[in-house]
Amino acid sequence: MTPVAPSPAVAWTRTLAVGCLLGLVALCLAWELWLAPLRPGGSWLALKALPLVVPLAGLLKNRMYTYRWVSLLVWLYFTEGVVRAWSDTTAASRALAWVEILLCLGLFVACALHVRLRLRAARTLNERPAS
């Protein structure tokens, strides 16, 4: 059986998921090292970007399992963004928190749509009569 090329919608959700994940990694590093660190000169909180690097290979390899667990992992970062958007005292940090919230929502939507579209495509493929 030859592999079926992904639909444009599936390819788009994959691109969006990878883009949001890379954006989230870059934001976490830049936020805690340069833009608005908790301590001058950067903080160890930049290590929060490491768990986001782990699923990158799975998303690039188009592994369904990775899309599923990333859609759960992202809520930890969303929660951090919400807490810091309302509790941080500097305007720069609050703005970065809102960017984190938007990237998290984009990543979640992309992962959820990706899984839904791939499952629908697999169901359709399995329902076709054999020729």
Residue 2 has pLDDT above 60, yes or no: no
Q: What Cα–Cα distance (Å) separates residue 58 from each residue in 1, 18, 93, 111?
A: 23, 10, 31, 12
Where exactly are the structural domains of the chain? Answer: 10-123
Give dist(CA 85, CA 6) in Å, integer: 37
pTM for this prediction: 0.90
Q: What is residue 129's predicted lDDT score, i.e. its pLDDT?
A: 65
Q: What is residue 50's predicted lDDT score, i.e. its pLDDT?
A: 96
Nearest to 86 by CA among 75, 73, 97, 70: 97
